[in-house]
């Protein structure tokens, strides 16, 4: 950490490179605007990408040691992972449930696959203990050596179709599986203490899963491996002439996923995490925009190559339902114009006929004129070309979420800082009709956060305190009435209800990206904005909203397989083409 010029504040950037990037990064108001968050795309620093890069660098070995599965795909599967001197087991229990039982809801009580990622090997006794508990999910209990529980369902559209095609000796048809293909759809990845699972704090800093969400990404990747093994096995049981998935198809399929309102409170309740995740995007972008460039260089040629691939990739996504986002072909059309500019620069050193020395900045600005969605893809491409920040960025992710409040600070000092750092609160019309339309609560029936309409739906008495703009405005109003020289400890004797807000805003001193510029209880609030940001941070793509409240996505589409990683190949899988298309 580095001390800021204001007393008592720190900038939580752990390396000189990141501190330099922070100094010329975009303003927090721009980075945290809901329209910015709601158009985010995955980058090389998204969790799935960084996980596989690390696994390939260390050549993690995955061995399938048990596959006791019948013709319908019911049975037990065990994979052993040898990872940087550590050994893990992924234990999956596969069955086949009725289609009516398949749901993405947390409150489901049956799944086609349940699985656990554990430390060490699996004895016979432990396998039976896992079977009793993992298959019960919410009804089970984990031991301290278990890292992740997950569950998934077969795709109603794709699982049996792929099996039938392979059994006939054929490969799937791209048109039949659509633009966001998968054969298993995950519905949850639980870790970090839930139901007795291992706490994240137990990982030493040199542990291969010591970064947040790395254990979940390993589990997701192995679940994808299982999906391939299941469809190929079921096909072989149907026909002696069954085919295996060819090389392109064994990359193309991802892991299906969907998300809902339950994600929204997370980044509001964890502002230090939000800061780290936004910095994970903003600081590499700031670094890329600041770099000098030369035409006919490896860097400028790489920009052209990636933009060509992006144009083809999005042009092929012509059936995916994306409203309110642009369609794939619409995005491809905007990117084609950016490709022309990049090609011009690579050939002549000019953009639009004018000489430029920072092609990244020129493309970023041109992309902004073409629209936020186009610019976000441009930014992904720019960051992709700068691998030198990979190690620095990983240091961002371990957050201190328990800063100590400083009650000796005066009310005047805190009010002065809030007027600067929280000026955005006054940009929201908190007195407009509809500004308090919703309330958020934890649903006992749904077992996850939900929102209700104030004055109509039940649950206001257990409302969650997510409306930070209102809380900060209220605090600022009361601070303004207090003598500026009294301490916050004295202030809280008269205004004890502000204790939580004071602890929050004090903990965010010098933390630039801790507060999304949103009013989550407004009638105008769009949950998709915060959801898409989080999903992009995980590394998900193919965003397909089903309403204003939830969307479908895929994870790991195009990612390297276990055999690739064992060979050290985390190859270039950004903007993967459909099977049958060219790789360039």
Res. 4: pLDDT tops 90 = no
* DSSP classification of residue 546: S
In the three-class reduction of DSSP (H, G, I as helix; E, B as strand; rest coil), residue 279 is classed as helix
Res. 284: pLDDT tops 50 = yes
Element (H, E) at 406: none
What is the distance between the alpha carbons of residues 442 and 411, in angstroms, rounded to a whole number? 34
Chosen domain end from 336, 365, 397: 397
What is the distance between the alpha carbons of residues 285 and 261, in angstroms, rounded to a whole number? 29
Task: Please report where in the chains the tokens 């006939």 appear, as a residue.
Answer: 168
Domain residues for the domain of 101 are 49-260
Residue 218 and residue 51 in contact, taking contact as beta carbons nearer than 8 Å: yes
DSSP string covering 236-264, please? Answer: HHH-TTPPPP-TTHHHH-EEEEEE-GGGH
Both 368 and 494 in one domain: the answer is no
In the three-class reduction of DSSP (H, G, I as helix; E, B as strand; rest coil), residue 440 is classed as strand
Residue 523 is assigned to a structural domain of this protein: no
Both 306 and 422 in one domain: the answer is no
Chosen domain end from 442, 472, 507: 507
Q: What is the mean pLDDT of residues 191-198?
A: 92
Q: In this structure, what token pair is assigned to residue 223? A: 């679940």
Element (H, E) at 418: helix 411-421
Both 159 and 180 in one domain: the answer is yes
Residue 58 is assigned to a structural domain of this protein: yes
Of 140, 165, 135, nearest to 152 by C-alpha is 135
Most distant pair of Cα atoms in the chain: their distance: 85
Q: Which of 137-141, 171-175, 403-407, 429-433 has the lowest mean pLDDT?
A: 403-407
Both 339 and 417 in one domain: the answer is no
- Degrees (nearest 5) of the Cα angle 569, 572, 577? 125
Number of domains within the chain = 3
Both 141 and 229 in one domain: the answer is yes
What is the distance between the alpha carbons of residues 365 and 351, in angstroms, rounded to a whole number? 11
Both 201 and 314 in one domain: the answer is no
Under the banding of pLDDT at 50, 70 and 90, the label for residue 11 is low
Both 358 and 233 in one domain: the answer is no
pLDDT in tens, 99-141: 877 776 666 789 999 999 999 999 999 999 999 999 999 899 9
Residue 47 and residue 541 in contact, taking contact as beta carbons nearer than 8 Å: no
Residue 88 is assigned to a structural domain of this protein: yes
What is the distance between the alpha carbons of residues 480 and 30, in angstroms, rounded to a whole number? 28
Residue 451 and residue 438 in contact, taking contact as beta carbons nearer than 8 Å: yes
Under the banding of pLDDT at 50, 70 and 90, the label for residue 262 is confident
pLDDT in tens, 338-360: 999 999 999 999 999 999 999 99
In degrees rounded to 5, what are phi and psi of residue 163?
A: -60, -45
What local confidence, expressed as pLDDT, does residue 144 receive?
87
Residue 125 is assigned to a structural domain of this protein: yes
What is the distance between the alpha carbons of residues 256 and 224, in angstroms, rounded to a whole number? 9
Q: In this structure, what token pair is assigned to residue 158? A: 């794709």
Q: How many residues does the chain have?
A: 584
Percent of the chain at pLDDT exceeding 70: 97
What local confidence, expressed as pLDDT, does residue 16 receive?
94
Both 89 and 197 in one domain: the answer is yes
Both 130 and 241 in one domain: the answer is yes
Residue 176 and residue 124 in contact, taking contact as beta carbons nearer than 8 Å: no
Which residues, 6 or more positions from 245, have their beta carbon under 8 angstroms from its beta carbon? 162, 166, 171, 228, 231, 232, 253
Write the secondary structure of 465-523 as one string of H (helix), E (strand) and C (coil): CCCHHHHHHHHHHHHHHCCCCCEHHHHHHHCHHHHHHHHHHHHCCCCCCCCCCCCCCCC
pTM (predicted TM-score):
0.94
Under the banding of pLDDT at 50, 70 and 90, the label for residue 7 is very low
Res. 584: pLDDT tops 60 = no
Residue 211 and residue 394 in contact, taking contact as beta carbons nearer than 8 Å: yes
What is the distance between the alpha carbons of residues 261 and 328, in angstroms, rounded to a whole number? 25
pLDDT in tens, 522-553: 999 999 999 999 999 999 999 999 999 999 99
Residue 565 is assigned to a structural domain of this protein: no
Residue 24 is assigned to a structural domain of this protein: yes
Res. 459: pLDDT tops 80 = yes
Residue 580 is assigned to a structural domain of this protein: no
pLDDT in tens, 138-187: 899 999 899 999 999 999 889 999 999 999 999 999 999 989 899 999 98
In degrees rounded to 5, what are phi and psi of residue 407?
A: -75, -10
Both 467 and 371 in one domain: the answer is no
Residue 256 is assigned to a structural domain of this protein: yes
What is the distance between the alpha carbons of residues 272 and 318, in angstroms, rounded to a whole number? 38
Both 189 and 238 in one domain: the answer is yes
Chosen domain end from 260, 279, 294: 260
Of 140, 137, 139, 141, nearest to 151 by C-alpha is 137
Both 19 and 57 in one domain: the answer is no
Write the secondary structure of 294-360 as one string of H (helix), E (strand) and C (coil): CCCCHHHHHHHHHHHHHHHHHHHCCCCCCCCCCCHHHHHHHHHHHHHHHHHHHHHCEECCEECCCHH
* DSSP classification of residue 580: T
């Amino acid at each position: 950490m580095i001390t800021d010029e204001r007393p008592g504040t720190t900038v939580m950037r752990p390396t000189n490179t990141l501190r330099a990037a922070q100094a010329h990064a975009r303003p927090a108001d721009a980075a945290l605007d809901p329209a910015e968050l709601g158009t985010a795309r995955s980058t090389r620093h998204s969790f799935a990408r960084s996980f596989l890069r690390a696994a390939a660098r260390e050549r993690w070995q995955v061995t399938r040691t048990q596959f006791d599965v019948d013709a319908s795909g019911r049975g037990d599967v065990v994979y052993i992972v040898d990872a940087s001197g550590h050994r893990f087991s992924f234990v999956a229990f596969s069955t086949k449930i009725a289609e009516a039982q398949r749901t993405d809801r947390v409150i489901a009580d049956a799944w086609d696959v349940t699985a656990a990622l554990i430390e060490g090997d699996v004895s016979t006794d432990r396998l039976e203990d896992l079977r009793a508990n993992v298959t019960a999910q919410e009804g089970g209990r984990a031991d301290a050596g278990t890292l992740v529980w997950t569950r998934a369902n077969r795709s109603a559209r794709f699982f049996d179709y792929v099996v039938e095609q392979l059994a006939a000796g054929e490969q799937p048809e791209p048109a039949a599986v659509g633009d966001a293909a998968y054969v298993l759809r995950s519905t949850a990845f639980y870790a970090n203490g839930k139901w007795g699972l291992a706490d994240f704090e137990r990982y030493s800093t040199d542990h291969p899963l010591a970064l947040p969400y790395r254990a979940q990404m390993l589990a997701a990747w192995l679940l994808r491996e299982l999906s391939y093994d299941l469809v190929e096995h079921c096909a072989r049981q149907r026909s002696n002439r069954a085919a295996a998935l060819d090389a392109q198809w064994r990359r193309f399929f991802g892991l299906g996923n969907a998300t809902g309102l339950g994600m929204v409170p997370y980044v509001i309740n964890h502002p230090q995490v939000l800061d780290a995740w936004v910095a994970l995007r903003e600081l590499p972008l700031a670094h890329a925009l600041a770099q000098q460039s030369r035409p006919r260089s490896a860097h400028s040629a790489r920009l052209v190559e990636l933009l060509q691939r992006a144009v083809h990739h999005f042009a092929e996504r012509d059936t995916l339902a994306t409203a309110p986002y642009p369609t794939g072909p619409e995005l491809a059309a905007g990117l084609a114009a950016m490709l022309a500019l990049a090609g011009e620069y690579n050939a002549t050193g000019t953009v639009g006929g004018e000489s430029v020395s920072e092609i990244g900045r020129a493309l970023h600005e041109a992309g902004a004129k073409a629209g936020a969605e186009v610019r976000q893809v441009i930014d992904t491409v720019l960051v992709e070309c700068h691998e030198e920040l990979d190690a620095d960025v990983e240091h961002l992710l371990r957050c201190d979420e328990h800063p100590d409040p400083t009650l000796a600070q005066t009310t005047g000092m805190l009010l002065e800082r809030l007027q600067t750092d929280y000026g955005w609160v006054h940009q929201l019309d908190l007195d407009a009709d509809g500004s308090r339309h919703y309330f958020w609560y934890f649903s006992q029936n749904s077992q996850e956060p939900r929102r209700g309409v104030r004055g109509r739906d039940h649950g206001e008495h257990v409302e969650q305190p997510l409306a930070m703009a209102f809380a900060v405005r209220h605090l600022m109003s009361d601070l303004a009435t207090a003598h500026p020289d009294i301490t916050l400890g004295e202030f809280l004797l008269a205004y004890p209800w502000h204790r939580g807000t004071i602890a929050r805003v004090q903990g965010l001193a010098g933390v630039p990206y801790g507060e999304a510029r949103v009013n989550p209880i407004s009638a105008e609030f769009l949950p998709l904005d915060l959801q898409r940001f989080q999903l992009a941070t995980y590394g998900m793509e193919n965003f397909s909203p089903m309403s204003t409240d939830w969307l479908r996505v895929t994870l790991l589409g195009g990612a390297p397989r276990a055999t690739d990683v064992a060979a050290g190949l985390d190859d270039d899988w950004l903007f993967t083409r459909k099977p049958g298309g060219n790789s360039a």
